Structure 1
Amino acid sequence: MSLPTSHPPQAEPVEAGTPRTPPPPQAEICPPIDRYEIQRELGHGGMGTVYLALDTYLRREVAVKVLNRQHIGTAGRPFLLAEARAAARLSHPNVVMVFDVGEQDDLPFIVMEYVPGQTLAQAKPTRIDEVVRIGRQICAALRHAHAKGLVHRDVKPHNVLVSPEGVAKLMDFGLAWALDAQIDPDDSFVGTLSYVAPEQAAGGPITHAADLYAFGVLLYELATGTLPFSGSPMQLLLQHVQEMPPPPRSRNPHVPPPLAELIMHLLQKDPAERPCSAADVGHLLGVLGKLNRMASLFEIAR
């Protein structure tokens, strides 16, 4: 099954940006930024607004993320600059690339690769083989980021862009810090509650294992069509910290047992009990993909 490329009639696509949220009151029209001519707004999310722009030097389309004016200050600027520095260290086919960073009129901005497409939240695959294929690509992005000493901290379908060709790209490293970074996160909770790792919810140290837990939630959602936990924010926090979700096959009996086992392995409460690395998870998904293809061939031959 190819992923759908048409957009919902009530919404514009969100390309190489952050999850869609309602526009802020009295949203500002962005003037030209340095050498980048703003074409149109692509979406709002997190701390910034993303625009489609033309790089007048290289004559190519780019996505420009500008920090919302109300977030500028001691907290906002370090967040955006940390995002740029983190993402600029990454060069991988499954990561949205960062080209430039700067400030104009006290507005920090990041220039990113423009990738037409939909978020994984908009274009959810419905076949297990597609879930496995997309999952392998996300694992490849995480493997690359983790090798650079980065933790994404907010892995979820809204932060995965899927191109019309079916290539998945992890985006919005705005919540990523280098493990050796000098910037300390503020006291507010960072991350999306539905995908938050137990140690992250409890305010403990965050390592690569937190990304693997969030990836497990993402796989659970794609494979079963529902999130592992639901409820109020406080209920979600408690469930992530204290409870194991229902087995994936109890919600979708078509989930292959090995995939269900891997998902539950990723969702272990103790980080030490999860898979060791994104590379290991990607390898297991590769094996699952081959087994699924073999099963399909046997089914055809019957």
Structure 2
Amino acid sequence: MSSTRRDPLVGDVVDGRYQVLARVARGGMSTVYRALDLRLDREVALKVMHEHLAEDPALVHRFEREAKTAARLSHPHVVAVLDQGHTVGPEGDVIAYLVMEFVPGRTLRAVLREQAPLSPARALRLLRPVLDGLAAAHRAGLVHRDVKPENVLVRDDGRVTVADFGLARAATGHTSAGQAVLGTPAYLAPEHILGEPSDARADVYAVGIMAFEMLTGRQPYTADTALQVAYRHVNERVPVPSTLTPGLPERIDDLVLWCTEPDPADRPADATVLLEAVDRLLAELGPVTNGADGANREDEAPTTVLPPVALTAALPTTRGAHAAVGPETGHETQPKTEPEPETEQAPAPSQRQARRAARRPALTLGAGRLRAFAIGLAVTLLLTGAALLLGWGLGSGGLTRAAAPPEGGAAAAPVLSDLRGAPAPR
């Protein structure tokens, strides 16, 4: 549990109703507290926006509007939003808050720290309620935009719920206008990082990254800074999970690669489409025996505000080759008028090979041929330069008279020395 030391809000009563008992987690946008609703005598989770965000009236207005939308979403796998508002603190600062049901348990992050990598069946069974909750939100026109293990809660009784609807979307809309990107870089979709419009498919991408982490025990992209992680999301493709966890079924690999396509048009349209694919895979894998229950909630990994990023590198142009092919049938993911056959057809080898070849880190399709061409050209220049030097030296009576090479020799010598890694002759 997070320390409550030096937190001035602990012990105070917010808006005359919510007595702050303890701090639970702190992120990049807000701090979550365990509080007591004095009016209804029940424990709640109180999420308070950071002061620098709450000072913007436009952001507070959008936050309140999105919170009202999230409050209308009633689903067993979504943490219920109970109240929202803003008030003035004892020091004159604005306190914008969101009240949610308090979930006894722990985060998916805590589960992964202890148990990752998970078996395919266990991972899918943890993801299924997440997708069920996201599907309900997507049908209501609500996009989470900050799906990550810290926002997935595993209750003490084993139920899984998604938290933090409302705040993420409000803050994202605000920071997009300010030329910044708000979110957790490890799970951000490329279009979100580039400041392009994002929709339910951005949530699908984040679920794919979570699935990769659950299956391999690590995130696909790591770097020293959040900016470097974001850059890799735009310019690289998620590796095949089985390269890190040998023995994973190909269908599991294909599911992760499908979710994490860099072009949103190539991913499942929303969580409902992905949920159907997961259900089919679960039917094949059978029941899982491991439990998912936990004990205490862990601190929230911070949601990060990235500075303006000039990520001008284009997304891989080969992504359209397998744009509409899902991992579960090898057919287009558009609705069908005829029922699917009982025996599902696997994706064509060429489609699967193209998708997997595109997942070699920092190497797009065709890069190998270009590199071979460059090496061949360099060798040709090397041999040509050597022939010119040798011919000039013999024609001048020996190599000892090569102090003033003719035209062409001076240009060839640096090429020769550069390729060998030695300094060019003077």
Asked if Structure 1 and Structure 2 have the same fold, meaning a TM-score greater than 0.5 normalized by the shorter chain, the answer is yes
Please list, as runs of the form range in 1=range in 2, the aligned pairs for 1:59-138 lying within 5 A after superposition.
59-74=41-56, 77-78=60-61, 80-105=63-88, 106-124=94-112, 126-138=118-130
Structure 2: where are the runs of 5+ without partners? 89-93, 290-426
Seen in structure 2, the aligned counterparts of structure 1 residues 220 and 182 have a Cα distance that, compared at 3 Å, is closer
Aligned to 1:155: 147
Change (3 A) 1:47 1:176: same
Contact kept? 1:197, 1:240, Cα under 8 Å:
yes
Whether the 8 Å contact between 1:37 and 1:53 is mirrored in structure 2 is: yes
What SS does the corresponding residue of 1:269 show, helix, strand or coil? coil
Which among 286, 289, 314 is matched to residue 293 of structure 1? 286
The letter for the 2-side match of 1:28 is P
Give the 3 Å change call, closer, same or farther, for CA 280–242 of structure 1 in structure 2. same
Task: Pick the structure with greater CA Rg.
Answer: 2
Equivalent positions of 1:255-270 (< 5 A) are 255-270=248-263
Instruction: Report SS of the residue matched to 1:190.
Output: strand
CA distance in structure 1 between the partners assigned to 2:287 and 2:187 by the alignment:
32
- The 3 A distance-change label for structure 1 pair 86 and 46 is farther
CA contact (8 A) 2:122 2:288 kept: no
Q: How does 1:82-231 map to 2 (within 5 A)?
A: 82-105=65-88, 106-124=94-112, 126-173=118-165, 174-177=167-170, 185-231=177-223
Amino acid in structure 2 at the alignment position of 1:202: L
Structure 1 contact 83–176 (Cα < 8 Å) conserved: yes
Quickly say closer, same or farther: Cα 1:235–1:103, change in 2 above 3 A: closer
| Contact 1:155 1:211 (8 Å CA) reproduced | yes
Q: Secondary structure at the match of 1:203?
A: coil
Aligned position for 1:28: 8
CA distance in 1 between counterparts of 2:41 and 2:271 reads 36
Query: Residue by residue, what CA displacement relative to the aligned partner does 1:118-173 show, whole Å, maximum 9, x if unpaired?
Result: 11111125232221011111111111111111111111111111111222211112
Identify if the C-alpha distance between structure 1 residues 287 and 255 changes in structure 2 by more than 3 Å, giving closer, same or farther: same
Q: 1:294/1:111 Cα in 2 relative to 1: closer, same or farther (>3 Å)?
A: closer
The answer to whether the 8 A contact 2:37-2:43 is kept is yes
Comparing 41-50 and 155-164, the one that deviates more: 41-50
- Alpha-carbon distance change, 255 to 178 in structure 1, aligned in 2, over 3 angstroms: same
1:46 pairs with 28, 37, 40, which one?
28
Q: Which amino acid aligns with 1:222?
A: M
Please tell me whether the aligned partners of residues 20 and 33 of structure 2 are also in contact (alpha carbons under 8 angstroms). yes
TM-score (norm 1): 0.82
* Aligned mate of 2:228, from 235, 251, 255: 235
Mean alpha-carbon deviation: is it higher for 45-54 or for 182-191? 182-191
Which residue of structure 1 aligns with residue 237 of structure 2? 244
Aligned length: 275
Residue 17 of structure 1 aligns with which residue? none
CA distance in structure 2 between the aligned counterparts of 1:189 and 1:183, rounded to whole angstroms: 6
Identity score, percent:
35
The TM-score normalised by the length of structure 2 is: 0.59
Q: Is the 8 A contact 2:120 2:252 kept in 1?
A: no
The alpha-carbon deviation at position 108 of structure 1 amounts to: 2.0
> Shift of the alpha carbon at 1:294?
7.3
The alpha-carbon deviation at position 212 of structure 1 amounts to 0.7
In 2, the alpha carbon distance for the partners of 1:131 and 1:41 equals: 30
Q: CA deviation at 1:103?
A: 2.5
Deviation string, structure 1 residues 50-103 (Cα, Å, up to 9, x no partner): 221222332221111223334331165246424523421321111111111122
Q: C-alpha offsets along residues 242-301 of structure 1, whole Å, 9 cap, x if unaligned? A: 2222211111123222111011011111111111221111111112112111799xxxxx
Question: Could you say what secondary structure the match of 2:286 adopts?
Answer: helix
The 10-residue stretch of structure 1 (91-100 or 231-240) with the greater mean CA deviation from structure 2:
231-240
Greater per-residue helix proportion: 2
Query: Which residue pairs with 2:272 in the alignment?
Result: 279
Q: CA deviation at 1:202?
A: 1.4
Q: Which runs of 5+ in 1 are unaligned?
A: 1-11, 14-21, 297-302
Give the 3-state SS of the residue equivalent to 2:183 in structure 1.
coil
Q: State the one-letter code of the partner of 1:94.
A: H
Q: List, as ranges, runs of 4+ consecutive aligned residues in structure 1 with deviation greater than 6 Å.
A: 181-184
